[in-house]
Amino acid sequence: MTPRLAILCPGQGGQHAAMFDLARSDPLTAQALEPWLAAAAPDRPLQEILSDDNLLFSNRLAQPLIVAATVAAWSALRPLLPTPELVAGYSIGELAAWHVAGAISASQAIGLAASRAQLMDACVQPQSPQVLFAVNGIALRPLAVLLASHRLYVAIETDADSCIVGGLQQDMLLVADQIKRRGGKITILPVAVASHTPLMATAETPFAGQLRQQFTRDPLLPLLSGLDAQVLTKKEQAVTVLSQQLAHTIRWQACLDACAERGITAALELGPGAALSRMLAARHPHIACRSVSEFRSLQGIATWLQRL
């Protein structure tokens, strides 16, 4: 029986030196990947970036490289997989998801990712560094009240008692002890922009203008909006959700629930990393979830799905 497949497109955090290796095992993708990588990182050799975490996790390089890795994985795997029932993307992964769904080309997705990163970087003041950090162990509602009093914001909801928080680094330092006293755990993420918070508001309008120019056709596959987990099928919706998500909370737990509600039986995360597939497996154990990063070959991924 063919599984009802969801494709998951990751955000920042899972980058690694071998993130393009599996896709390169497909000759056609390997050939296409070279100009994609040149567009993602035009001013530095790729090997230099992959061997230096300061470069690999810098926002201006991370966003287009993650999209490049995602579209490369999809290019290599698409002929081997059943047609997906649904596509969902986490943060910058939502932009890659619109490519997987057929609404924009790989080059368009990578170019938009580079522009997105530049616009977001422009929202950061050098004298006021920004931060993203994970908080676990505190229910979202009381945490949001605590954060509001310190000008911090829930950027991504990941579960009932876990989320990603964004704001200024100086404000995080003020609230950290209170979070810990309430039983919460803080993990600082390797991201230097407060994505999905009001600190990114000035990037929304110019990015919407760029999106409007690039999105000229409707997607071939339905997608989930990170803002509210609604199903999207029109190009105009891309302009709205992809620009608004820069400065508004991503409700990822709702996207995970929407996968279950739509009868998804298998989910494949395109990588790099495996955070999304692990979150979905933990929240909905009946869905078979894997990441491409867990496999040694493209055929191994296809065989896994065939055996479900």
Q: Give the model confidence (pLDDT) of 201-240 as tens digits.
A: 999 999 999 999 999 999 999 999 999 999 999 999 999 9
Shared-domain flag, residues 96 and 35:
yes
Asked if the structure places residue 137 within a domain, the reply is: yes
Residues 232, 204 share a domain: yes
> 155: part of which helix (H) or strand (E)?
strand 153-159
Other C-beta atoms lying within 10 Å of the C-beta of residue 69: 29
Please count the other Cβ atoms lying within 10 Å of the Cβ belonging to residue 213.
10
- What is the rounded distance in angstroms from the CA atom of residue 245 to the CA atom of residue 204? 8
Within-domain flag for 28 = yes
Phi first, then psi: what are they for 269, rounded to 5°?
-90, 130
- For tokens 């105009």, name the residue: 236
Residues 97 and 177 in one domain: no
Closest CA to 194 of 163, 225, 153, 226: 153
Residue 105 in domain = yes
Q: How far apart are CA 144 and CA 141, in angstroms?
A: 5
Residues 113 and 239 in one domain: yes
C-alpha 79/C-alpha 159 separation (Å) is: 34
181 and 221 in a single domain? The answer is no
Tell whether 193 is covered by a domain: no
Tokens coding 299:
């055929």
Q: 30 in a domain, yes or no?
A: yes
Q: Confirm whether pTM is higher than 0.95.
A: yes
Per-residue pLDDT tens digits for 188-197: 999 999 999 9
The CATH number assigned to the domain holding 146 equals 3.30.70.250
- Do 104 and 137 share a domain, yes or no? no
Residues 169 and 261 in one domain: no
Look at the chain and report how many structural domains it folds into: 2
| Residue range of the domain that includes 149 | 130-188
**Domain shared by 138 and 275, yes or no:** no
The token pair that represents 31 in the structure block: 């050939």
How many angstroms separate the CA atoms of 183 and 173, rounded? 16
Do 119 and 80 belong together in one domain?
yes
Report the distance separating Cα 209 and Cα 125, nearest Å.
23
DSSP string, 168-204: EHHHHHHHHHHHHHTT-EEEE-S--S-TTSGGGHHHH
Residues 115 and 12 in one domain: yes
Does 31 share its domain with 113? yes
43 and 108, same structural domain? Answer: yes
In tens digits, what is the pLDDT along the chain, a chain of 308 residues? 789 999 999 999 999 999 999 999 999 999 999 999 999 999 889 999 999 999 999 999 999 999 999 999 999 999 999 999 999 999 999 999 999 999 999 999 999 999 999 999 999 999 999 999 999 999 999 999 999 989 999 999 999 999 999 999 999 999 999 999 999 999 999 999 999 999 999 999 999 999 999 999 999 999 999 999 999 999 999 999 999 999 999 999 999 999 999 999 999 999 899 999 999 999 999 999 999 999 999 999 999 999 99
Structure tokens at 255: 């996207």
Q: Is 116 inside any structural domain?
A: yes
Backbone angles phi, psi at 157, to 5 degrees: -85, 120
279: domain CATH number is 3.40.366.10
In angstroms, rounded to a whole number, what is the distance separating the alpha carbons of residues 275 and 216? 32
Domain-embedded: residue 175: yes
